[in-house]
Structure 1
Amino acid sequence: MEFSLIIKKINNTLSEKEALEFDLWYSESEKHRTYFEKVKNNKDSEEYIFNKEKNWSSIEDKIKTTKKTNWKYYAASIALLFSISYFYNPIDKIEKTSEVIVNPVDSNKAILTLSDGKEVILSKEDTVENLIFKREGKNIAYKSSTKSEKPNLGQKVKEIEYNILTTNTGGEFSLTLEDGTKIWLNSESKLKYPVSFTKGTTREVELIYGEAYFEVSSSRNNSGDGFRVLNSLQNVSVLGTYFNIKAYPEDNEIITTLIEGKVFVENKIGEKVYLKPNGQTILNMSTLKIQQKEVEAKEEISWVRGYFNFKNLQLTEITKVLSRWYDVDISIQNKEIENLRFNGVLNKKQDIEFVLEAITNTSNITYEIKDKNIKLRK
């Protein structure tokens, strides 16, 4: 049953056919009835039980005005909206078992490896002194005064110093480069970047693996110098724009999505694809072939704003996202539920049991937690 029917029941807008479906679900078990009453009576229900179309429109408007919006506050107001598509016949559920509750993650943990090999552990409580950057919360900001000038002819070129920022499972961090470019690094990601750029050369960083969202400082503000994101299998070149790159090795693909501006993606065999806003390329890591399609780009960067956006996403893909964020190992015990597709907006600050409850209460899936291992089964 779709979660939307619960919303319609509360709002007394069920059709006759929908009412029959809801009544069947409601009468199946005490667990269903308890869940419905919990949703209905939640004091904050107005914050997360709402019209889907209205909410998506609201989210879109908020994303369009990113720079003026307090996204932490907005994301915190979203709990979860879930619906599900079935590919098998409903059956009776068995009760979940849970030995250990997995707590919310520390979302600000990262490791900064300096050019001299020194490692700095970054978290909310840490302070970093005597370094060339300013650290505030989960953001690193480099001083523009460190920018290198273009060397004169005959002058010995100073070797470029690189730092590496690595986020662990369940961690994320943001970085402001000395040219003003802003980068958000998702969990399980690694970014290599120079301490300072040299005038007259292309500004380059390397997304070694993982996912990152870039707001690139315009070339007009940087002596006309372009900006390039390197990867072992592809390069993305820009002048000044907003885009997202997702390159987890286990996915066997690199997804590049353009939000604003213009970029071109080039694979390692020289094939180039130009992207316009809402354009996306998918590079197959095995064949290096590039596919291109149109998407709702703003939905691809929802993770930056504090929530996950599951839009017609298979359960197998959702488990990857949750595993990276909550630092757990999730296994699907039955092949017939792997193709279940979900739609939902998920606040990243919710604990994982909240997410699992939402899934099990709108489907015929149960879960079992033991330490950091979670099993999903029908």
Structure 2
Amino acid sequence: MQKIDDKLLDKFHSGKCTPEEESIIDYLMHYDDNSIDISGMEAELDDLQAASLISKRTEPKKWPFLAAGIAAAVAIIIGAAVLLFNSTEQPVENYTNDIKPGTNKAILTLPNGTTIDLSEAKNGELAVDGGVRVVKQSDGQLLYQFKSKDVKLTPLTPRDSLSALVSVGVPKKNDADHLNTLRTPLGGQYHIALPDGTNVWLNAGSMLKFPSTFEGLAERRVLLSGEAYFEVAQVKTLLGMKKRARKQPFIVKTASQEVMVLGTHFNINAYPDEKETKTTLLEGSVGITAPLLQAEQTMLKPDDQAVNDGSIIRVKKVDTELAVAWMKGEFMFKDDNLESIMRKVARWYNVEVVYEHNEARKEMFGGGVSRYDKISKVLSALEGASDLKFKVIGRKVIVTK
């Protein structure tokens, strides 16, 4: 068993190791399990600038998974076989037109057609719709507050009916017109608390449609395009029940499937420009139905990911931190090709990506980098791990060799 020199270990913890010294420590950590005590690494993670693959984050405090993110970062540092990104500073002469990262911004369209730019709206009550108060809180979160005493609703009130979203197909115009629509532009993200208490974090270039209230409805249904992370609240409804309430299912409908839950945490990636819809479960259980693909329901357990490619739904065990890295303000990859990575970059920085050589699209990468740095830091990390070159002209990123 080989022991790491204390001075070298101190340099490692302070982020002052040379690449050669890091290689030595990496070797010992991978091939001599008992050679180094890492019990204190979590508390010192922010100081490991040279060893850590993830830059210091500045994401809003309200976004979850901070503790989980630290643990995941430590796991990556000590356990990954091949990590291609690093925090070494790279030349930035190609990034004279540097681009800032995305921010919390979205457009809300109410059922009556009123449009609100949430990035410009002041905190406080934004609107009232049928007894439902739409409130922007001091942390930027959008909150729907429904008080049943303010308005009387009959079961399945037509104003908030989601019957058009039950089956796969184009929703009827009148039903869609009576829903709220939250849209995040490219370069934007937003957090909303739905009328039932469910929290939703919407990634860049996404859309969520939902009713102003779920009161009087047999199910809670929302429509998603793009990517979102859900923390679903458990609620009960008296609809159709004379003596006792029953749990009210929560259903997320995308273009190719429906995900039904009662109370759980999961992420759905359903961008139109992605070939697959990915549903990743962190807590609880969910059932996925896709009437055009299969008759039976696909059930997921924690750490499962369902991949729907339009012809079949495959389930596999995954590292869920990869799926929700965007929630922690990180780009995190494992054996991803450049084209897939740059689609994420393009949405977050609102840029167009142009490839001068098509073969560059297939280059594989692994590792992570902060989403809260300017685009030059992300592109420098990619350059440092390959022979690729990136140029930024306006809002266009050109990939060359």
TM-score by length of structure 2 reads 0.70
Q: What is the Cα deviation at residue 49 of structure 1?
A: 2.2
Aligned to 1:21: none
Q: After superposition, give the CA deviation of every residue in 1:156-193 in whole Å (9 maximum; x if it has no partner).
A: 94521420000000100011012110000000000000
Paired with 1:124 and 1:306, the residues of 2 have a C-alpha distance of 22
Aligned to 1:231: 254
Q: What is the Cα deviation at residue 282 of structure 1?
A: 1.1
Paired with 1:98 and 1:125, the residues of 2 have a C-alpha distance of 36
Aligned to 2:232: 216
CA pair 126-11 structure 1, distance change in 2 beyond 3 A:
farther
User: Residue type matched to 1:212 in 2?
Assistant: A
Paired with 1:170 and 1:244, the residues of 2 have a C-alpha distance of 19
More helix as a share of residues? 1
User: Secondary structure at 2:100's aligned position in 1?
Assistant: coil
User: Residue type matched to 1:317 in 2?
Assistant: S
Aligned to 1:105: 101
Q: What is the Cα deviation at residue 278 of structure 1?
A: 0.8
Aligned to 1:283: 308
CA pair 146-176 structure 1, distance change in 2 beyond 3 A:
farther
User: Residue type matched to 1:312 in 2?
Assistant: D
Paired with 2:210 and 2:300, the residues of 1 have a C-alpha distance of 24
1:135 and 2:136 equivalent?
Answer: yes
Pick one of 113, 121, 129 that aligns with 2:117.
Answer: 121
Pick one of 319, 337, 358 that aligns with 1:314.
Answer: 337
RMSD over equivalenced CA pairs, Å: 3.6
User: Secondary structure at 2:382's aligned position in 1?
Assistant: helix
Aligned to 1:12: 21
User: Residue type matched to 1:277 in 2?
Assistant: P
Mapping of residues 1-378 of structure 1, within 5 Å? 9-10=18-19, 12-14=21-23, 46-50=47-51, 69=66, 83-84=83-84, 98=94, 100-123=96-119, 126-127=122-123, 129-131=126-128, 132-136=133-137, 137-145=139-147, 151=154, 157-160=157-160, 161-199=178-216, 201-207=218-224, 209-219=225-235, 223-269=246-292, 270-285=295-310, 287=311, 289-378=312-401
Aligned to 1:30: none
The answer for unaligned runs of 5 or more in structure 1 is: 19-43, 60-65, 86-94
Preserved contact between residue 101 and residue 353 of structure 1 (Cα < 8 Å): no
Aligned to 1:23: none
CA pair 11-373 structure 1, distance change in 2 beyond 3 A:
same
Preserved contact between residue 101 and residue 373 of structure 2 (Cα < 8 Å): no
CA pair 238-45 structure 1, distance change in 2 beyond 3 A:
closer
TM-score by length of structure 1 reads 0.74
CA pair 45-151 structure 1, distance change in 2 beyond 3 A:
closer
- Identity, % of aligned pairs? 28
Q: What is the Cα deviation at residue 331 of structure 1?
A: 2.0
Preserved contact between residue 136 and residue 143 of structure 2 (Cα < 8 Å): yes
Q: What is the Cα deviation at residue 96 of structure 1?
A: 7.7
Q: What is the Cα deviation at residue 14 of structure 1?
A: 3.7
User: Secondary structure at 2:47's aligned position in 1?
Assistant: helix
